[in-house]
Amino acid sequence: MSDTSKTPILEVKELGIDFGGLTAVNDLNLQIYDREIVGLIGPNGAGKTTVFNLLTKVYKPTRGQILFEGRDTAGQTVVGMNRAGIARTFQNIRLFDKLTVLDNVRTGYHNSVRYSPFTAVLRLPSYYAREREIEGKSRELLKIMELDQYTDVTAGNLPYGAQRRLEIARALATGPKLLLLDEPAAGMNPQETENLMQMIRFIRDHFGIAILLIEHDMQLVMGICERITVLNYGMMLAEGTPEEIRSNPAVIKAYLGE
Amino acid sequence: MTKKKNLFQILVDDRHRARTISYTMVIAAYIIVEAMLRSGNLSNLFINLLVPVTCYMVAAIGLNLNVGVSGELNLGQAGFMAIGAFSGICLSGFFADTIPAVPRLMLAILFGALLTALMGFLIGIPVLKLQGDYLAIVTLAFGEIVKNLIMNLYVGFDRTGLKVSFVQQTFTLEEGGRILLNGPMGSTSTQKISTFTAGMILVIIALAIVYNLLYSRHGRAIMAARDNRIAAESVGISVSRTKMLAFVVSASLAGAAGVLYGLNYSTLIVSKFDFNTSILILVYVVLGGLGNINGTLIATVILFLLPEMLRSLQAYRMLIYAVILILIMLITNNQSLRAGLQSLRNRGKKDE
């Protein structure tokens, strides 16, 4: 369990969003601490991905507050949230299909390793230095995500599981403090899922970051999450350790019906 | 890490092959044409087309960055060429007696490129908030506005200095003054200082700028924003800023091309840079293959020279031209032909 006396890296207070007359998320409270793996689960349409879109400012919240590292994020843009330290993957994979695997990861370093367009056009020495740095770091990440055999493959041609891992690699390249994974195991077989679980744990330990993940695969969620938040109809249904969630009658009712 | 490659391997590897082919093609074309010029094997008709074809190549390379790589439809390329052409003509005319031809041409091209880059930036601020068809409409309107403004622009200079006016009646020069731009008549007595060599150097510079940009974090950002806007923003790429970069570079290359074009004719009217010219450049880019710079170069040369080659057909010229365009489209989009080419390429790879 995490040390609750510390300030959480992410703190969500009474967050809500309406789409017209529909309340998609309401009164959500969530804290994530450093180096924690937290699960966000719930039946289809519960509003899990909407929460991710709120956290990354794709949607502007109707109500409530999102504090990242203690600072209010009101008025931030999608780009700004990434620079602040939140990276994400997408439920329906969004890679740069026509770029190679290596270039996909390289784009992740867009903000952390910088040089001007003039440096690029004039091929100044710093261009070569920065590009070498980007390439070295990118190859290292590809190795960690077990993608090194695909380095020069066009991303759109990758097998499904590799595409999901590439999205994680690209997100990690932006140097996040909090990583949001939207159904990372979707479409994976049990062997791949098992592999992914170890990978997620390794990422947390190696990069020292917090991870919030949406997942339907209960084996994975119960296996690696230290805390779990359950959403139903946009509302928080339960919160607790995997054991608490597993035995919570409200959760069982939401999943299985009466 | 991969093992060190020698220079030749670097030149022909997947990442750099297109660039190597571009440079080789341009340099080879230059050597062949120069040799033919020296030996007097070129007709006058063809010689007169040499500079314009390099201009269109530069403008098309720029537009390919904007339309092919960045994925934004821009129908105002001729407008940027017009700004470049007439600013270049004015600058060159003003310094006609004080600066020798070659540095004057270089100065004019630099001035035209910077001016159009600035114009591109200013127009880009509102325009790049739009997407798809809206962007096309606004850039189209921009081209028409530029054309009409320049059509009513009077520029000249006399002892008292440079004079600029939009009204003919108020435009008077003292004795000994010279008119640079005469409203609808355009430029009337420009010194022709553009050369084929200068044009080919400009093509090489344009290629270097675009390729160097493409193989950089900025190029990757431009392509990422094209492939998936939402994902690009999620990794911290400011999509509007990268689109702006592609738009401004494209505009400034069109401007440089315009200067070269303007200084190739003693008289030039602005209606040369109308909507049809924008479409023509777009046709070069689309038929050459979006994002494919070598294709753009080849398509520009063929499609620019074709109407001239077809002159003997007289009235049927544009008809045949249109038929050829359609045929090229059909052939290059033929699935089985593409598959055949791909398998040839793969076979070549296995042999390596």
Residue A18, strand partner residues: A23
Instruction: Please check whether residue B60 touches A, CB under 8 A.
Output: no
Q: Which two structure tokens, joined as six digits, stand for B128?
A: 């790049």
Q: Answer yes or no: do A174 and B218 touch at CB < 8 A.
A: no
Q: Answer yes or no: do B224 and A97 touch at CB < 8 A.
A: no
In A, minimum Cα distance to B249 occurs at A117
Residues from A in contact with B at Cβ < 8 Å: 56, 58, 77-79, 82-83, 87-88, 90, 94-99, 103, 106-111, 113-115, 117, 120-123, 127, 130-131, 134, 136, 139, 152, 170-171, 173-174
What's at A224, amino acid-wise?
I
pLDDT in tens, A111-133: 999 999 999 999 999 999 999 99
Chain B residues in contact with A56 (beta carbon < 8 A): 234
ipTM: 0.91
Q: Range of A146's domain? A: 10-256
Place of tokens 């800023």: B241
Q: Answer yes or no: do A83 and B236 touch at CB < 8 A.
A: yes
Q: Answer yes or no: do A99 and B234 touch at CB < 8 A.
A: no
Tell me: pLDDT of A142 over 90: yes
Q: Most A CBs within 10 Å: which of B3, B210, B216, B245, as the mutation test of the A interface?
A: B216
Distance, C-alpha A217 to centroid of its chain: 16
In B, minimum Cα distance to A82 occurs at B236
Residues whose CB falls within 8 Å of the CB of residue B193, separated by 6 or more in sequence, listed in order: B92, B101, B102, B104, B105, B263
pLDDT in tens, B269-296: 999 999 999 999 999 999 888 889 999 9
- Give the closest residue to A63 by CA, choosing from A19, A18, A33: A18
What's at A30, amino acid-wise?
L
Residue B266 and residue B95 in contact, taking contact as beta carbons nearer than 8 Å: no
Q: Most A CBs within 10 Å: which of B235, B252, B253, B290, as the mutation test of the A interface?
A: B235
Measure the CA–CA gap between A30 and A52, rounded to whole angstroms: 12
Asked if the structure places residue A146 within a domain, the reply is: yes
Residue B180 and residue B189 in contact, taking contact as beta carbons nearer than 8 Å: no
Q: Most A CBs within 10 Å: which of B234, B244, B252, B349, as the mutation test of the A interface?
A: B234
pLDDT per residue of chain B (352 residues) written in tens, 0 to 9: 445 667 777 777 777 888 999 999 999 999 999 999 999 888 888 899 999 999 999 999 999 999 999 999 999 999 999 999 999 999 999 999 899 999 999 999 999 999 999 999 999 998 877 776 788 899 999 999 999 999 999 999 988 888 888 988 888 888 888 889 998 899 988 899 999 999 999 999 999 999 999 999 999 999 999 999 999 999 999 999 999 999 999 999 999 999 999 999 999 999 999 999 999 999 999 988 888 999 999 999 999 988 888 877 778 877 888 888 888 778 777 777 777 777 776 766 554 4
Instruction: Please enumerate, as own/partner, the contacts of A82-86 that have beta carbons within 8 Å and a separation of 24 or more.
Output: A82/A56, A82/A111, A82/A174, A82/A176, A82/B233, A82/B234, A82/B235, A82/B236, A83/A111, A83/B236, A85/A175, A85/A176, A85/A177, A85/A178, A86/A10, A86/A55, A86/A56, A86/A176, A86/A177, A86/A178, A86/A180
Q: Name the strand (E) or helix (H) holding B298.
A: helix B293-309
CA distance to A97, A100, B23, B198, B222, per residue, from B219 (Å) = 15, 13, 19, 27, 5
Q: Which two structure tokens, joined as six digits, stand for A132?
A: 């070498």
In B, minimum Cα distance to A90 occurs at B231
Residue A226 and residue A54 in contact, taking contact as beta carbons nearer than 8 Å: no
Q: Is the sign of the CA dihedral A116, A120, A122, A125 positive or negative?
A: positive
Residue A17 and residue A50 in contact, taking contact as beta carbons nearer than 8 Å: yes
In B, minimum Cα distance to A156 occurs at B227
Q: Give the model's pLDDT for residue B160.
A: 84
Q: Give the model's pLDDT for residue B1.
A: 43
Instruction: Please check whether residue B274 touches A, CB under 8 A.
Output: no
Q: Answer yes or no: do B217 and A114 touch at CB < 8 A.
A: yes
- Give the closest residue to B194 by CA, choosing from B80, B104, B116: B104
Place of tokens 């989009």: B333
Chain A and chain B share a number of CB contacts under 8 A equal to 100
Q: Answer yes or no: do A96 and B232 touch at CB < 8 A.
A: yes
Q: Is the sign of the CA dihedral B71, B77, B79, B81 positive or negative?
A: positive
Nearest by CB to A94, from B218, B230, B236: name it.
B230
Instruction: Please check whether residue B10 touches A, CB under 8 A.
Output: no
Of the listed ranges A22-36, A96-110, A140-154, B314-328, the one predicted with least confidence: B314-328
Measure the CA–CA gap between A53 and A112, rounded to whole angstroms: 23
Into how many domains does chain A fold?
A: 1
Q: Name the strand (E) or helix (H) holding B164.
A: strand B161-165
Q: Name the strand (E) or helix (H) holding A181.
A: strand A178-182
For residue B9, report the phi and psi dihedrals to the nearest 5 degrees.
-65, -35
| DSSP-assigned letters across all residues of A66-135 | EEETTEE-TT--HHHHHHHTEEE--SS----TTSBHHHHHHHHTTTTS---HHHHHHT-HHHHHHHHHHH
In B, minimum Cα distance to A93 occurs at B231
The percentage of chain A sitting over the pLDDT mark of 70, rounded to a whole number, equals 98
Q: Most B CBs within 10 Å: which of A59, A78, A112, A128, as the mutation test of the B interface?
A: A78
Q: Which two structure tokens, joined as six digits, stand for B305?
A: 């020279």
Strand-pair category, A37-41 with A210-214:
parallel
What's at B114, amino acid-wise?
L
Measure the CA–CA gap between A218 and A220, rounded to whole angstroms: 5
Instruction: Please check whether residue B4 touches A, CB under 8 A.
Output: no
In A, minimum Cα distance to B215 occurs at A120
Chain B residues in contact with A164 (beta carbon < 8 A): none
Q: Answer yes or no: do B237 and A110 touch at CB < 8 A.
A: yes
Strand-pair category, A210-214 with A178-182:
parallel
Residue B285 and residue B67 in contact, taking contact as beta carbons nearer than 8 Å: yes
CATH assignment at residue A24: 3.40.50.300
Burial of B283 (0-12, 13-18, 19+ CB in 10 A): middle
Instruction: Please check whether residue B209 touches A, CB under 8 A.
Output: yes
**Cross-sheet strand order for the sheet of B161-165:** B161-165, B154-158, B178-182
Nearest by CB to B213, from A87, A120, A170: name it.
A120
Q: Answer yes or no: do B235 and A106 touch at CB < 8 A.
A: no
Measure the CA–CA gap between A56 and A60, rounded to whole angstroms: 9
Q: Answer yes or no: do B233 and A79 touch at CB < 8 A.
A: yes
Residue B65 to chain A, least CA–CA distance (Å): 14
Measure the CA–CA gap between A223 and A90, rounded to whole angstroms: 22
Q: Answer yes or no: do B235 and A127 touch at CB < 8 A.
A: no
Q: Which two structure tokens, joined as six digits, stand for A211?
A: 């991870």
Residue A247 to chain B, least CA–CA distance (Å): 36
Instruction: Please check whether residue B213 touches A, CB under 8 A.
Output: yes
| More reliable by pLDDT, A2 or B120 | B120
Residue A227, strand partner residues: A38
Asked if the structure places residue A88 within a domain, the reply is: yes
Q: Which two structure tokens, joined as six digits, stand for B299?
A: 């398509």
Q: Give the model's pLDDT for residue B349.
A: 55
- Give the closest residue to A31 by CA, choosing from A53, A48, A55: A55
Place of tokens 């494209």: B250
Asked if the structure places residue A2 within a domain, the reply is: no
Q: Which two structure tokens, joined as six digits, stand for B184?
A: 């609808």
Nearest by CB to B218, from A58, A77, A120: name it.
A120
User: What pTM was computed for the model?
Assistant: 0.90
Asked if the structure places residue A1 within a domain, the reply is: no
